[in-house]
Structure 1
Amino acid sequence: MRNIIFILLLFCPFLLLAQEVDRTLINGFITAPASEDIEGVSVYNKSTQKGTVTNDKGEFKLEVGNNDRVLVTALQFQSFTVIVDKGVVDSKTMKIYLNPAVNQLEEVIVRPYDLSGNIVADVNRVKTYTFVPKMDLSYEALNFEYEFTADALTKVDGNAAEEALHNNSLKNGANLLGIIGLLFPKDINIDLITNKSIEDRLQISRTLRQRFSNAYIFETFEIPKEKANDFLFFVEEHGLTETMLKAENEMKLLDFMYKQSELYKNNREQN
């Protein structure tokens, strides 16, 4: 029995040597799309736990044997393992083509202001502010540091409708101050009444001008731009009130303006 064990121990080194794989130094070549850098690609033989990296031409040298597993890795390429076969060992050449890595990101939905899609909830979350300028930004109140001479675009002097509105001199040929003087007792300050009325009318006129441009009137009510001022005077003379200009009455104001635009266009056609 001892002799058998001795013989087995005697032949074990020869058996282990017989299991060693003969490895050959091969020349490797890495190729990739023209725009990709192939320098510094890692080529690692997992069977021998030895590796190397490619030069600027994508070339490398590595000892491999039949059925060795060679791992190829790089940040810009897809990693994969190559199994060495007898053809690679015999030719002492390995050619590897690399595909650029494509990272597929998870779907990201970008919404402005973190909207949830629920109209009611989103509207309630929106912060709104009411801006009331302390300065009068109307065209009439702006001061320009330029002098303009009269030309073809200068407005025509003697516009009776505009003068009646802004100067309160005549209304349909009648003096407003005289009419108001007849309606109220003499002990009432007529100047205070007329001044307040004039200021209200001017405020309405300025507000209309700020909110409705010539282009808007043309696109919305189909009224020529050159008739925009005349149309606004028409609206003021046919029932427009300061209450309609409040924010909560926006729809009422637009409905009123639309109806008045139809009347205005009918009057123009008849005239």
Structure 2
Amino acid sequence: MAKLAFLGLGVMGYPMAGHLQAAGHTVTVFNRTAAKAEKWVAQHGGASAPTPREAAAGADFVMACVGNDDDLRSVCLGTDGAFAGMDNGAIFVDHTTVSAKVTTELYAAAKALGVSFVDAPVSGGQAGAENGVLSVMCGGDDAAYAKAEPMIDAYARICRRLGDSGAGQMTKMCNQIAIAGLVQGLSESLHFAEKAGLDGAAVIEVISQGAAGSWQMSNRYKTMIEDHFEHGFAVDWMRKDLDICLSTSDEIGATLPVTALVDQFYKDVQQMGGGRWDTSSLIKRLRALSA
């Protein structure tokens, strides 16, 4: 069993930290809203700290799951940042979806302090975090990853090292690129079925058993048919991720025409007031266009 810190108790981090505590580790949490940390301690045990540095003090591993590049820098760097409190040889595991640029920056900053940094973004959404079945894609030094993997297993269905620092974030970009096209395709399929007068649920029952089947189809078709979009990953966050994908594609010379198009469709959803709707709300845009 290890001494751990967990920074960021959002819809993902809250249950992930809970799984670590339930696995028998000693967990100290930090959250910008202290009341959320106090609630977590009341529910799971462990302890809370007022700053990332104090949470990280003496920890073998420090996990983070925050919002974006700037949020991650704020919990890592500075006099109150986690790096300032970490012991030589400790390992920082970042579960945030951020740019490969900030990952490279923080990997170097950690290494200069004798701390290891593993980028480990996750896929599986809130339900995956709550059920402990996330897909975790990692980058970083092999030795650090080997030590961190047993900790990550507390909330992972699969955890893999894909390469050196930044490889985890690059793989998460592949994940978001694939999802963008899948959700748009599913939205168009259900929209077409509605316009054709077909029973959408019956259509999905048949086509999901063939080559068209996907996680998105199995898990989102019912709420899409019901025009209910309060589940899963929000459009605002998806646009943040797709911006990272598109910026990186320019840097590495990749061509992402479908991703760029779907990003604009999500922009339309935001303008409809749907920034906090889940990503399957692309169908709502189609319904509005054909109304």
- Select the structure that is richer in helix: 2
TM exceeds 0.5?
Answer: no
**Which range, TM-score by smaller chain?**
under 0.3
TM-score under structure 2 normalisation? 0.19
